[in-house]
Amino acid sequence: MRVIIVGAGPAGLYTAIALKRARPDLEVRVVEQNPADVTFGFGVVFSHQALTFLRKDDPSTADLIDPSMKHWSGITVIHAGQQITIDGIGFSGIGRLELLQLLQHRARALHIEPEYGTRIDASTDLSDFDLIIGADGFNSAVRRSAPLNFGEEISLLQNRFAWFGADQEFDSLTQAFIDTPYGPMNTHHYAYAPGRATFIIEMGNDTFEASGFNQMSEEQYRTQCERLFASSLGNTHLIANKSIWRQFPILSCRHWFFGNRVLVGDALHTVHFSVGSGTRLALEDVIALVAALREYDWNLTAALPAYQAVRQPIHEKIARAGTRSAIWYESFGEHMRLEPWQFALNYIRRGGRVDAQRLRDMAPGFVADLEAKSIGLDS
């Protein structure tokens, strides 16, 4: 059986690894349009739960990645100059480039050599392959080869955001909300390596227009953002890497496969970065796809529908939470009218998955602080 995987990001590389582990005789080819070790963005964040599923599926890969992970517990919310800790929520971060290099190493140990600088488009003849897997992200060439057949639906959120890095190591995943002369702004930041952090800046479109960032060069708005977020950055600097201002695209597909073509990860669906589930969902897609192929003895006619049937309800549940979270961020300036502790409670419950009892179970310290201030969990 000949398989081609389009995309050598985390999803594509792990697909190759999982396929070779399941069936060493497979002929697996991985192609990536970018050069080796060229990536955009900075760190990747996982919940502790996400690492548990990876270890269950592939202990060797988990053992390879874990020593490079930066672990922390809790979320820090900063609003109106007050810093509030929401305990009990565990995360781990790793540099995106380092994650890719570790997965490349694991793939090569299984005799998989990704082909970099190789572009696949709608005109590329892939008829020699029995299975074509699109792990090539939001701009997937595999999906765009037959958008009507996959039933893609795309909409854009209104907020503007840009990914930066920072040469600083933060103690926890932090959400800082500030008022500026242009309007409210937010940063999501977290450490992914010693002295390094991801620093995402987000704002509404009105604030973006008032800031003039759309008229500035990358270096100009990087410098301006440093000044605006000096309280978070201190004397350290933002690092740009194609840190363009974007609107987040919400992608879903009614059909996860078409013929012998199947999608995983961001090629198939996107979930707003505020819930930190993108890479997790991609790897879980891969695990489910390979499990279905094995269960149905590599019969695509049976395995591909089974893959969608298993994964789609799980994804839809997370996507609903991601959409609710994204809608909250679309109007975070309005929520900033709340006093800091009420705001922190409103923030942690934004996705609709944290009811009062779950909050008590996962964040007892935060709940105790709220109760000491006579703030009810349903307020």
Determine the average pLDDT of the residues in 263-274. Answer: 93
The pLDDT of residue 217 is 96
Q: What is the pLDDT of residues 184-219, one digit of tens each?
A: 999 999 988 888 899 999 999 999 999 999 999 999
Domain boundary among 239, 271, 303: 239
Share of the chain above pLDDT 90, in %: 74
Residue 187 lies in a domain: yes
The pLDDT of residue 379 is 63
Confidence check: pLDDT of 118 > 80: yes
200, 53: one domain:
no
As a 3-state breakdown, the chain gives helix, strand, coil percent values, each rounded to 5, of 45, 25, 30
Distance CA 111, CA 17 (A): 10
Determine the average pLDDT of the residues in 100-104. Answer: 95
Confidence check: pLDDT of 299 > 80: yes
**pLDDT band at 147, cuts 50/70/90?**
confident
153, 165: one domain:
no
Residue 362 lies in a domain: no
Radius of gyration of the chain measured on its C-alpha atoms = 21
Domain that holds residue 234: 160-239
The amino acid sitting at 102 is L
Angle at 42 between CA 83 and CA 169, to 5 degrees: 40
* pLDDT-wise least confident of 208-212, 213-217, 287-291, 321-325: 321-325
Q: How many C-beta atoms surround the C-beta of residue 105 within 10 A?
A: 12
13, 114: one domain:
yes
The token pair that represents 174 in the structure block: 């932090």
The amino acid sitting at 258 is F
Q: What is the pLDDT of residues 32-77, one digit of tens each?
A: 999 987 777 788 888 777 778 888 999 999 999 989 988 888 899 9
CATH number at residue 72: 3.50.50.60
152, 164: one domain:
no
Spell out the alpha helix ranges (H) of the chain.
10-22, 48-57, 59-65, 96-109, 141-144, 147-150, 205-211, 218-228, 230-233, 278-295, 300-330, 332-335, 340-348, 356-362, 364-372
The pLDDT of residue 168 is 87
Domain boundary among 239, 256, 277: 239
Share of the chain above pLDDT 70, in %: 99
Residue 379 lies in a domain: no
Determine the average pLDDT of the residues in 262-277. Answer: 90
User: Which is nearest to 91 in space by CA: 52, 39, 57, 56?
Assistant: 52
170, 284: one domain:
no
The pLDDT of residue 193 is 86
Residue 343 lies in a domain: no
The pLDDT of residue 76 is 95
The pLDDT of residue 275 is 82
Counting every residue written for the chain, the total comes to: 379
DSSP structure string for 24-53: TT-EEEEEESSPTT---SSEEEEEHHHHHH
Greatest C-alpha distance within the chain: 67
151, 223: one domain:
no
The pLDDT of residue 174 is 93
Q: What is the pLDDT of the chain when averaged over all its residues?
A: 93
Domain count, the chain: 2
Cα torsion 331, 333, 211, 84 to 10°: value is -120
216, 283: one domain:
no
Distance CA 318, CA 346 (A): 19
> Which residue has 């781990």 as its token pair?
92
Residue 177 lies in a domain: yes
> Which residue has 């809790």 as its token pair?
74
83, 13: one domain:
yes
